[in-house]
């Protein structure tokens, strides 16, 4: 397994990106300013996009694992890679829908709830967004802080 930075066309991975954010115009708002990484384990299995928001502050804008390869640790592997790759990282934020499976994933990766953006999904998407049969309304932001920064 290797994780590599995408230096060419990030849109080459649009099908994977759309698994985590189903509206391409929303992806376009962060894709070019962010850095993208893909996880290759006998083929691309997962991707993530990270933006630098401030000194030491990063945001995980998109993370997706191919459906047939979920629950194999690839998402966690990407998050751990990001934590170690950005040596100046003090906090990593991730925004997600208020859905038990997503929140459980982030909690298992060491994130805690930070804040919420009311009506994010209903105000910013051109159609209702559902995850696990639940309509997403608010964006839940979680954070993971690095301990023992050198």
pTM of the predicted model over 0.85: yes
CB 139 within 8 A of CB 95: yes
pLDDT tens digits, 74-119: 999 999 999 999 999 999 999 999 999 999 999 999 999 999 999 9
pLDDT tens digits, 58-85: 999 999 999 999 999 999 999 999 999 9
Name the percent of the chain lying above pLDDT 90. 95
pLDDT-based confidence at residue 149 (cuts at 50, 70, 90): very low
pLDDT tens digits, 15-45: 999 999 999 999 999 999 999 999 999 999 9
């Amino acid at each position: 397994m290797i994780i590599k930075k995408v230096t060419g066309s990030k849109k080459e991975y649009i099908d994977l990106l759309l698994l985590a954010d189903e509206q391409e115009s929303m992806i376009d708002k962060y894709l070019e300013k962010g850095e993208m990484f893909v996880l290759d384990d006998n083929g691309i299995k997962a991707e993530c996009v990270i933006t630098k928001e401030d000194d030491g502050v990063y945001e995980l804008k998109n993370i997706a694992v191919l459906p047939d390869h979920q629950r194999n640790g690839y998402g966690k592997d990407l998050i751990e890679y990001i934590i170690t790759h950005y040596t100046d990282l003090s906090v990593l934020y991730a925004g997600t829908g208020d859905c038990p499976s997503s929140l459980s994933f982030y909690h298992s990766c060491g994130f805690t709830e930070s804040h919420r953006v009311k009506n994010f999904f209903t105000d910013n998407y051109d159609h209702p967004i559902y995850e696990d049969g639940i309509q997403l309304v608010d964006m839940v932001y979680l954070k993971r802080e690095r301990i023992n920064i050198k």
